[in-house]
Amino acid sequence: MATADTDSGALRLAAARVVAEVFGGRSLKAVLGPAEQAFAEPRARASLHAVVLAAVRGSLRWRAALARLLARPLPARARAVEAALVCALSQIEDLGAPAHAVVNDTVAAVRALGQPGLAGLANAVLRRWLREREALLAALEADEVARLLHPAWLLERLRADWPGHWQEIVAAGNGPAPMWLRGNAARIGRDDYRARLAAAGIAAAVPGDARLDQALRLETALPVARLPGFAEGLVSVQDGAAQYAAALLDAGAGQHVLDACAAPGGKTAHLLERQPGLAGLVALDKDPARLARIDAGLARLQLARDRVRCLAGDAGDPAAWWDGRRFDRILLDAPCSATGIGRRQPDVRLHRRAADIPVLAAGQARMLAALWPLLAPGGRLLYAVCSVLREEGEAVVSGFLARQDDARALPLDLPGGQPLAAGVQLLPGNEGMDGFYYALLERQ
């Protein structure tokens, strides 16, 4: 546990370490959570979160700046120093932190990172930035990747897929994300929960679409510990776009439901909250460690678990886990590029490559084809991805419909949604939500 929570040096050091891990290929979510836990003060955790998110989001710009400021690239063993410099530039330029304090703390952080030989260089680089910032900022403006903070391959894909909307998608990916809540329908109505928030001095907006009947939007994110009744399971954090899944699937009492890529269980819990009378719910995930989080979530929400079976297995290989009982409803929330949630997971743009997309799309198509025979005639399958790339949404579903005679897509009308040949695309930022693709398929 860091002792000096209010010590900006300790924060900058921790931020540099997290950003270095992300530059090394680790997922932001995996490294940031544990790093935050090292700070006792909620305020220090929130600062670390803000500094790291801004640095990762801005890293395509600030790494380009460093390329101009350094005579030669830093050696690979100095990744943490590069991260400390990216954090410093981002704090000065994106977060408006006082420049001289940032420079001093960064030089100290470089020493603490075990690179005292690079402390002078860090100092010189940051001072040169401050001296020449106007000219350097102008040069970065001329570099599209540095300006738009998205890699060239992704900009090209977004332009091709959404010629009239790609700029909005990019802007939303670089913008702040509101915090969305979902009241636990099994325990409390939305109005009552909203009143609990108001009593705690927290204002919450109600979205316009009546289908999002338990959703509330907070303009500023808060630690969950500040949400009334969070530990007791009155509420969960879940983006508004993700809350459409349970509403569109609309599972009825007595139905048998499969949640095929279920972990960590946000949508599983919503399905149960919304319909306590399900005959059974199978929550499947390939990753046993993530699967364990489903049960913990259901326990916190105090949802009956006797009719829930959590299974570790491959959605593309039902022969290995299916008991032969057909499902009335299937949710396939498939693994994807996560290009619809870049504002929450800005590391995705650093880690994904253009070549990943066809591989993801082939996996999505394989799961969809493998799960279809498990659906009862008249049953419905909801296909979802938090992607904005047509290759993972419309193309997967259109290809499937062309091959599958007994499948038809039901019309989906979502506010602000982009209608497509099959399914509907929610673009990020629309109604303050993440980007999501949905298609609802019915078996004849």
Ligand X SMILES: C[S@@+](CC[C@H](N)C(=O)[O-])C[C@H]1O[C@@H](n2cnc3c(N)ncnc32)[C@H](O)[C@@H]1O
Nearer to ligand X, 333 or 431 (CB): 333
Q: How far is the CB of 300 from ligand X (least distance, A)?
A: 14
- Output the CA–CA distances (angstroms, integers) from residue 1 to 31, 54, 197, in the order listed: 16, 24, 31
Do you find a cis peptide bond into 264, omega within 30 degrees of 0?
yes
Nearer to ligand X, 144 or 287 (CB): 287
- Tell me whether residue 12 is exposed, middle or buried, using C-beta atoms within 10 angstroms of its C-beta: 0 to 12, 13 to 18, 19 or more: buried
Separation of alpha carbons 184 and 129, rounded Å: 50
Q: How far is the CB of 437 from ligand X (least distance, A)?
A: 12
Residue found under tokens 């998110």: 53
Sign of the four-CA dihedral 338, 339, 340, 343: positive
Listed as own residue / partner, the contacts of 165-168 with beta carbons closer than 8 Å and 24 or more positions apart are 165/418, 165/427, 168/427, 168/429
C-alpha 65 chain-centroid distance = 27
| Count of C-beta atoms within a 10 Å radius of residue 353 | 10
Residue 283 zone, left/alpha/beta (φ > 0; ψ -120 to 50; rest)? beta
Separation of alpha carbons 437 and 272, rounded Å: 22
Residues that bind ligand X (CB under 6 A): 261-267, 284-287, 290, 314-316, 333, 335
Torsion over CA of 293, 297, 298 and 301, rounded to 10 degrees? 170
Q: In the sheet where 179-183 sits, what is the strand order?
A: 215-218, 179-183, 235-237
For 347, the token pair is 């590391």
Residue found under tokens 């990020």: 428
For 234, the token pair is 């009155």
Torsion over CA of 138, 71, 104 and 129, rounded to 10 degrees? -10
Nearer to ligand X, 314 or 442 (CB): 314
For 109, the token pair is 């952080």
Closest CA to 186 of 273, 275, 281: 273
Nearer to ligand X, 20 or 388 (CB): 388
Q: How far is the CB of 42 from ligand X (least distance, A)?
A: 25
Cα–Cα–Cα angle for 341, 342, 343, nearest 5°? 90
Residue 178's SS3 state is: coil
Q: Is 261 a catalytic residue?
A: no
**Helical pair 79-93 and 42-69, crossing angle rounded to 10 deg:** 100
| Count of C-beta atoms within a 10 Å radius of residue 58 | 23
* CA distance from start to end of the chain: 58
Active site (catalytic) residues:
386
